Structure 1
């Protein structure tokens, strides 16, 4: 509890509360102040709760807090009525755990409160839904709620995707730099091509070639998409045929006994829910409602009423404990029956928990089926294909792994090329520096010889001649390359067609065989799944039976050991009582002295004698106290007197020794 209080005080002293509490001041808060602190924390989570509770009725405050805690999914540790009563009166044992739970996960609860504004569904009565306008509005409301869920998930995914504005800006700047470089390169290429004859016609031919290539790629992609759609429709058809076959097989193999047994189990479960579980829950809800109505109808309670109620509760608890003790003492048959009552209660609790687990499992299965249908519809809307399952997913994963390995290799090659580029750039800088130094030396030599500018003129002539030869070579090479490219493309297309023809012929029977094998695999897999499900259900049933028998055995063993211990304790007490009676009744005085009664009487008499002696001693001490104190005072006075004489004697002795020293010093001076 102290750790809990420390955590609450630390969090309340930080942002955004800044309460400036310590353990003593927080523990000494009044109930109204403690409720206000709880309301401030709830207001931080949901701003709608930012109110002053002094301006609000207590029942409204408790109702509002309970609704907020219900939305936040807080589960009270005890009874709901006790929890509500504790909230009404501002009880510390009720509010401190709530504060500890809220402050532990405040960010998560803020998100939950924000979502609750839009996702808490309004319950519309069935009679109102019969109206067309109301039902249409309700459908629109549900659709908007579903759209909000989808958009919120997309927003969360975008937040957690890792994209940041700085990275996007860097990418944009890098792309702009790359664009500028490409524009400069295009300009350089245009200047080079303008010197070639018929460059416009060649550019038009190259443009047509590029357009045809793009069209070819588009047609290939369209062909691939059509092939994928065909494969997906074939798989859907096969799956539907397999489902139809399984349904027919199940209908053919179904026996009346199995169907009747399944129906009987469902009927037993439904009858148990209707006759036992649901009436109990309804009765408990009614009881809780009556208690809440009773609490709401009562006037506001003050401190005197609370103390009176606490005293009454204490008295009733004492009476209950007394009655339980009386019942345990007076009704031995009830003790025998209590074991069976406990076992019956345990079995009933087990039955209730299993029913709840079954109901939750059914609800979970229905929710999962709805979610699977929704996900599959979303996947179909996105890419028009089915969700990958089984071997398809494995093949897809293996394909992704291959691509990732290729990507890693390429990235490693890029890193190596980048490192090599850095080395080459550094080498280029060094060579440029050396070239500049050599040029400077050459210019100095030319100035000495009187031929300055000779090397620059020679370099310019060499550069012009190299450019002329490069342009001439480019003119001839461009035409040759284009003609060779056209021939090569035609030959490649013809070779691909001739090479693909036998492969396509071989692929057709293999595809048919693959379809047959997949169909056979699906059949075998369905048989295996049904057999495995049956074995799993039998195994779980046997495990439950074994677990129940183990629990019964452990309970019986604990009861057996407890009874044995009680029996041994009673035997020991009986033996001690028999020994005591034997020693007390025995005619032998020595044996009688060993009895506990004799020992206790002997001890009592000894203590009484000792008490008498001590009282007599006390009496004598009291009588002699006054003269003894007088004598002590006289001795102290005598001691002080002797001390004073001693001091006088020492003082006199010191004065005599000082005079003697002075006298001796005078005699010495006379001698000198």
Structure 2
């Protein structure tokens, strides 16, 4: 840090700044003064930055400086959090933020001046797509881009001329020398003309000389054409050789092939290519397009201040809380269905990932195969060029392959026989070991039984006696010894038995002590075993608890995955709605009347107008009904009275028929009733 401050102070004390600082005075500067120093350095790089910071708002100064630093491609250290800290420090004027910026700017002022100069003309003005639909605006924007490209080319040419080392004085010297050479050549031509004029038939000779020059030029052109044709022929031969090699490889591959296998290969290739075209590549293209759109949005947005960032963070938190609430509601309503389908979704995602991985592996294997085929063809060509020998023919290669196959089958059979023999040998060894162990166990059990019965060493002595008896029988059979020899042998055997008993007596005593120790050890073993069983039971219970926790966590993971998929679906729905809104805005802004008519707004306006017309018609009908309401009600009342009168007539007629009244009276009464009804109707 001290070296950095020293470099800053030294460079500020030099031209064009001339600040006359030392380490103490520079370190004791206030934040506003430090920002003013930074602004002076930026003004030296870009003259538009000449501003007094005291007359400007701090947010505006920070925004202006950040824009210029972004154009100069200054990269602040650290992550996104560090970038927010960097912006806050630049607004405040903190030393840990301003010192590295000053050090970076003062190290490369000339380079940054050039970059700032170019940024005036090369930083594009972002025009919204809505305004670009106008023809005049689009034409002016195209002219603007063409002017920018022309400026780029002219600037490159200017830089090349600056770095080429040519100067105006050298160019003038070259021009003057060329003019002198031109004058000399003109004089020589005049002299030659004067000489030629004295020669007879000089015009014919000049024509012949011109024809000779033309023929020489034509000869040179033909030589170049011949060389080009040779090169073309060489390339054509190489292509033919490659095609022949490919044809031979295809024939060798198709020699043992069948149409069914070829069809299967073609079907697999078709499936793989269709998978790449329909599923993999469109997904990759969509992901790349989304990335480009996000990057364009980020690049088009202007630099934001701390207040804007805080507002965005608050909006993001609010939207996240709303999303979480909606997800919880959805989970509460559709827990059963999601639990059913979550496993299938997970399996489908796993299978799709495996499919993508296998497709990538297959593509890599194909690329490797193509590269290996190229290497093989190159190696064969090199072998032909070096040795001049041809490659192995098809028949010889087939014979060689058949021999290898026969040898391979024989090798497999022998290898299988060896494996079977090894397996039998292992089985025999294992049976031998098992029999030995059984024999030892039986001997041990027999000894324990003898000790319990008090006849320790009986089996051993019996074996010895049997062995001796066998020896005796053999000796008897072999030589037929006398009774004396037999008595001597009996004496010897008795002596041997007594010796063995005397030898076994201390061993029996030791065996009793060892038996007591064995009992104690068995007791300890049983105690340890009980402890082990209790510990194992505790560990088993802990393991069951952990398994339950793991199951719970796994279910939580599945729920979180379902929530994640739900949020993705919601995001896609919102994107679709946003696209509809943008299409609506484009159609509404466009100059085409047909597109405007297709907009939802126009449709709604039409529907509103139709509904208003219907409302007017209904109001008029309502008004007419209100006006004619009293008359209609009177007429209804009259019709009801007429209905009652007719009912009364009917009843009277029925009564008359029942009572059999004379005809004259009935007719008179009916006439009176009719007169009353007519009077009411007239009223």
TM-score by length of 1: 0.36
Q: Mark the structure with the bigger radius of gyration.
A: 2
More contact order relative to length (CA 8 Å, sep ≥ 6): 2
